[in-house]
Amino acid sequence: MRYLTISLLTFFLFSCGSYPKKQQLNPTENETAVVSNGYFSNAQHDYLYKAHITAYGKTFGGLFIVKKTGEDQHRVAFTTEMGNKIFDFSIKNNTFTVNYILEDLNRKLLLNVLKQDFTVLVKETSPTTKAFAKANTSVFETEILGKPHYYYTKNNTLDQIVKVKNGKANTVFSFSKINDNIAEQITIKHHNIALEINLKSIY
């Protein structure tokens, strides 16, 4: 019984450990006041992606468009390749406005997920609270919409954002094939629901 109690306690402490400890992130002095995501920061550029969204075993294809419309303000839209609108949102700071969404998709739970995903995706700066390092990667902790997020950077280039819940990765944003401050490929993968968004830049 004694060994069982110790084992259960060890399991409890490990399973409830913080995300940095689980990921073996080493604390460092936080010399970075804010973390930056400049992939949608050019107001003169229309960001156009071919999108594949997989949700609960179904795949939807179309065009994903992001436009910076002002200071800390973006417009995000998803259409079919024929130009039929599926959704259209405005994001200013943490304010999320639904301009249009298909009636079949107009569900509170889905809208909340999309609000969190796209607010994180286009947010240009966020204050840091802690800093870590792992190998050649710098990791910065911040809070967006009341949730902890970790920004992973290599050589001052952002390649991943991880939203954390209960000490575990909840949603992972991956950026790759960076060219002229544009992430040509972006993946948003949820670990708690069957939802994944894949974006490939179109020139």
Nearest of 71, 149, 69 to residue 88 by alpha carbon: 69
Asked if residue 2 has pLDDT above 80, the reply is: no
At 181 the three-state DSSP class reads coil
Nearest of 162, 154, 105, 119 to residue 133 by alpha carbon: 154
CA distance 171 to 189: 6
Give pLDDT, residue 94: 87
Instruction: Compute φ and ψ for 172, nearest 5 degrees.
Output: -120, 125
Give pLDDT, residue 7: 43
Domains contained in the chain, CATH given: 17-201 (2.50.20)
Average pLDDT score, the chain: 90
What's the rounded mean pLDDT across residues 16-20?
A: 76
Percent of the chain scored above 70 by pLDDT?
91
DSSP string, 100-137: EE-GGG--HHHHHHHHHHHHHHH--EEEEEEEEEETTE
Q: Residue 74 belongs to what H/E stretch?
A: strand 73-79
Higher pLDDT, 62 or 104: 62
CA distance 113 to 129: 24
CB atoms closer than 10 angstroms to residue 142: 19
What's the rounded mean pLDDT across residues 59-72?
A: 94
Nearest of 177, 191, 196 to residue 39 by alpha carbon: 177
pLDDT grade for 58, boundaries at 50, 70 and 90: confident
What digits encode the pLDDT tens for the residues 147-202?
999 999 998 899 999 999 999 999 999 999 999 999 999 999 999 998 999 999 99
pLDDT grade for 17, boundaries at 50, 70 and 90: low
At 182 the three-state DSSP class reads strand
